[in-house]
Amino acid sequence: MKHFILASTSTLFGENYLAYLQPAMKILYAGIEEIIFVPFARPGGISHDDYTARAAEAFSNIGVRVRGLHTFSDQAAAIKSAKGFFTGGGNTFLLVKQLHEQGLMHVLRDAVMTGAPYMGCSAGSNIGGLTMKNTNDMPIVYPPSFNTMGLVPFNLNPHYLDPIPGSQHMGETRETRIKEYHTQNNTPVIGLREGSWIYAKDNTLTLEGTLNARIFEAGKAPYEVPAGSSLAHLQ
């Protein structure tokens, strides 16, 4: 019954918010008139209201109304009765902290695992993994737990970047940081490049978009999988 999208980013360079995902969104949210938007990640410090308005404008293009989760007096009840969800990007630490402190992480997970369509972008995709440990974000707050929804049995690194030949940047690459992670953890990690997303429908799990994804498994050399590939071997 699962039906969800975990996307690397909300916006491709030079495009409007969620524009590249709208064909997939039409399929994901087919027949649904209104969804709940989770605005807690607050990119750039944007307010919950302003962030919800941004999402609502994008969803209006596919005929779906949006209501911010923050507007409900009983947010757990709202999640349980919602027909679908979208969680936007921003700071994953802030998003996870708020979901845990309000007792909503498991409520949202249960709703998605029992069939409510879900889409996450960036931070909203990070919470689809087992933990948020492979986020790129600064720890601006301290969440009670790094555990997330576990919609998939691996972690995500959205906005995955490859080393740039000739670059004079001396900091760690994304691959280096994920290798460090695997000295302490065994969970596989998918490096999602911009414009890529993971699509789940019932028991199928595929990589969508136009670019390869880079897969990291503890004790193995990283490898690439092309767009359109099944990710069943990671389930």
Q: What is the pLDDT of residue 171?
A: 67
DSSP letter, residue 152: S
Residue-level length of the chain:
235
User: What gap in Å lies between CA 194 and CA 172, rounded to an integer?
Assistant: 19
Q: Enumerate domains of the chain plus CATH numbers.
A: 3-234 (3.40.50.880)
Residue 22 φ/ψ, nearest 5 degrees? -60, -35
What is the rounded CA–CA span in Å between residue 165 and residue 131? 31
Residue 218's nearest CA partner among 185, 172, 192 is: 185
Token pair 């969104």: residue: 25
Q: CA-based angle 43:95:134, to the nearest 5? A: 90
How far, in Å, CA of 16 to CA of 20, rounded? 8
Strands 204-208 and 197-201: antiparallel
Q: What is the pLDDT along the chain (235 residues), one digit of tens a residue?
A: 899 999 999 999 999 999 999 999 999 999 999 999 999 999 999 999 999 999 999 999 999 999 999 999 999 999 999 999 999 999 999 999 999 999 999 999 999 999 999 999 999 999 999 999 999 999 999 999 999 999 999 999 999 998 777 777 766 899 999 999 999 999 999 999 999 999 999 999 999 999 999 999 999 999 999 999 999 999 7
Catalytic site residues?
122, 137, 159
Dig out the tokens for 118 from the structure: 């879900």
Q: Which residue is it, tokens 């997970």? A: 109
Contacts of 63 (CB under 8 A, 6+ apart): 33
CB-based contact 84:29 (threshold 8 Å): yes
21 neighbors 9 (Cβ within 8 angstroms)? no
CA-angle at 21, arms to 16 and 23, nearest 5°? 115
CA 68, chain centre distance (Å): 17
